[in-house]
């Protein structure tokens, strides 16, 4: 391996809030000898790794939103300091002036007056850097840039990253239609991990919508790499090793297998069942997933469990305002769902993502674990219940 290939880069992998620890766990399991993972921070995980690791992370992380590679960092007091940082970095190492460019921006407790102006100055700094070495100014292309640079501003510093992913990693390349309120794929993958589900455990999502949770689970169970069906921004960077990339993809492809335990999903809306089926087909897991149409209130376990066989519901019920029936029927949704779980799914574990902090009271079930996770800007909780046989339902407290 050449010196450049062995070089370690500072990386940052943002993820939905609440999934930082499971992202760090996932990265540790990728089994890279060169990757060093730091303790999770709010909103992501920092790491150090080689360019090989960058490719591996993009291909295999189900929970990260992106893989950012740090180009430089400095303390800043104003937008001119952002310009100076951008101007002095050796961008030609990664791309040339003919590449089109886009600057993305994030900030946390930044003291700068205008974040947009700081981003503009970062762009000016990069363009002037190329002018300074006798090249043209790169053009900006917001829709389909060759290179994305990410500017992050915190309380006293600016960090400039190359975005090695391009489109966010939750875009796996199989979704064409969304249905109503779909979860992002990386949030679904994170929920499965938080819920403690593993491929040996039977999975059932009885409120599956577009099928995101069940399709992520099926891809995990079948050993399908989340990035197998898409391209990445790093493929357009200078020094990209196409041979090594083909090798990593081939190694990932060789891990495909039949799922060790069955996976089931259902929805009351036949259009959703069709959509989930089409999505599963595009995701290459239609054979691994049994889908049916039905009301969760009539649901029965889709199979009889063998002694010692573990089974789990992981689902994302509709928020109160989306339940078709309004008024008392909508209010009755969670209590009725709680009864279905208690009466028919004894011996199962159930993990429910809900935005209602009082959901346990409404379900009349006590959670064994609760995790706060953000579905976009919405604060939710993943409640995990151990459903034991024969427990009478409690009155709401
Ligand atoms: C919040 S969405 C689930 C979104 C899904 N996790 C996804 O990523 O696409 C809730 C789903 O529950 C379904 N639903 C509502 N009431 C139901 C019922 N009584 N039985 C089964 N499904 C129901 C809706 O049709 C909707 O697709």
Which CATH number fits the domain that encloses residue 279? Answer: 3.40.50.150
Model confidence, pTM: 0.94
Average pLDDT over residues 200-224: 98
Range of the domain at 31: 3-163
Same domain, 152 and 203: no
Number of domains in the chain: 2
Residue with CA closest to ligand 1 atom 12: 207
Q: Name residues whose C-beta falls within 8 Å of residue 134's C-beta, 6 or more positions apart in sequence.
A: none
Q: What percent of the chain has pLDDT over 70?
A: 93
Is residue 351 over pLDDT 90?
A: yes
Same domain, 117 and 203: no
Q: Tell me the pLDDT band of 396, cut-offs 50, 70 and 90.
A: very low
Same domain, 201 and 303: yes
Identify whether 298 is part of a domain: yes
What is the predicted pLDDT for the residue at 99? 95
Mutate to test the pocket of ligand 1, among 181, 207, 340, 382 (most ligand atoms within 8 A of CB): 207
Inter-residue contact 33 to 73 (CB < 8 Å): no
Is residue 32 over pLDDT 80?
A: yes
Same domain, 56 and 15: yes
Note the pLDDT tens digit of each residue in 41-98.
989 999 999 999 999 999 999 999 999 999 999 999 999 999 999 999 999 999 999 9
Same domain, 197 and 159: no
Note the pLDDT tens digit of each residue in 353-395.
999 889 999 999 999 999 999 999 999 999 999 998 655 445 4
- Choice between 271 and 5, residue whose per-residue pLDDT is larger: 271
Identify whether 237 is part of a domain: no
What tokens appear for 166 in the block?
């391009």
Cα(208) to centroid(ligand 1), Å: 5
Which CATH number does the domain housing residue 87 bear? Answer: 3.30.2130.30
Identify whether 227 is part of a domain: no
Cα(72) to centroid(ligand 1), Å: 45
Q: Is the CB of 205 under 6 A from ligand 1?
A: no
Q: Tell me the pLDDT band of 5, cut-offs 50, 70 and 90.
A: confident
Angstrom distance (rounded) from CA 61 to CA 169: 8
Residue count (the chain): 397
Cross-strand bridge partners of residue 158? 74, 153
Same domain, 157 and 201: no
């Amino acid at each position: 391996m050449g010196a450049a290939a062995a070089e370690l880069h500072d990386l940052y992998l943002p993820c939905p809030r609440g999934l930082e620890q499971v992202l760090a766990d996932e990265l540790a399991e990728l089994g890279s000898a060169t990757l060093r993972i730091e303790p999770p921070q709010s909103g992501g995980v920092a790491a150090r790794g080689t360019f090989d690791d960058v490719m591996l992370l993009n291909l295999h992380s189900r929970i990260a939103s992106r893989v950012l590679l740090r180009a430089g960092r400095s303390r800043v007091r104003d937008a001119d300091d952002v310009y100076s940082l951008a101007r002095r970095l050796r961008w030609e190492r990664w791309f040339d002036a003919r590449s089109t460019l886009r600057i993305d921006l994030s900030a946390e407790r930044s003291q700068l007056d205008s974040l947009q102006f700081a981003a503009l100055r970062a762009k000016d700094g990069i363009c002037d850097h190329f002018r300074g070495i006798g090249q043209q100014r790169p053009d900006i292309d917001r829709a389909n840039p060759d290179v994305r640079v990410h500017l992050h501003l915190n309380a006293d510093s600016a960090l400039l990253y190359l975005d090695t992913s391009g489109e966010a990693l939750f875009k796996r390349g199989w979704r064409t239609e969304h249905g109503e309120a779909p979860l992002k794929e990386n949030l679904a993958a994170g929920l499965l991990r938080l819920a403690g589900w593993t491929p040996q455990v039977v999975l059932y999502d009885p409120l599956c919508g577009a099928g995101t949770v069940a399709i992520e689970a099926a891809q995990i169970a079948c050993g399908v790499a989340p990035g197998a069906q898409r391209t990445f921004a790093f493929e357009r960077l200078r020094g990209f090793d196409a041979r090594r990339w083909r090798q990593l993809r081939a190694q990932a492809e060789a891990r495909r297998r039949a799922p060790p335990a069955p996976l089931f999903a259902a929805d009351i809306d036949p259009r959703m069942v069709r959509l989930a089926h089409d999505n599963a087909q595009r995701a290459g897991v239609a054979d691994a997933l049994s889908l049916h149409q039905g009301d969760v209130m009539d649901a029965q376990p889709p199979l009889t469990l063998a002694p010692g066989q573990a089974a789990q519901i992981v689902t994302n019920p509709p928020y109160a305002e989306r339940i078709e029936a309004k008024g008392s029927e909508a209010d009755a949704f969670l209590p009725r769902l709680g009864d279905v779980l208690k009466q028919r799914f004894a011996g199962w574990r159930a993990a429910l993502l809900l935005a209602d902090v009082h959901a346990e009271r409404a379900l009349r079930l006590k959670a064994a674990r609760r995790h706060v996770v953000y579905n976009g800007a919405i604060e939710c909780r993943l409640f995990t219940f151990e459903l034991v046989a024969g427990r009478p339902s409690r009155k709401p407290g």
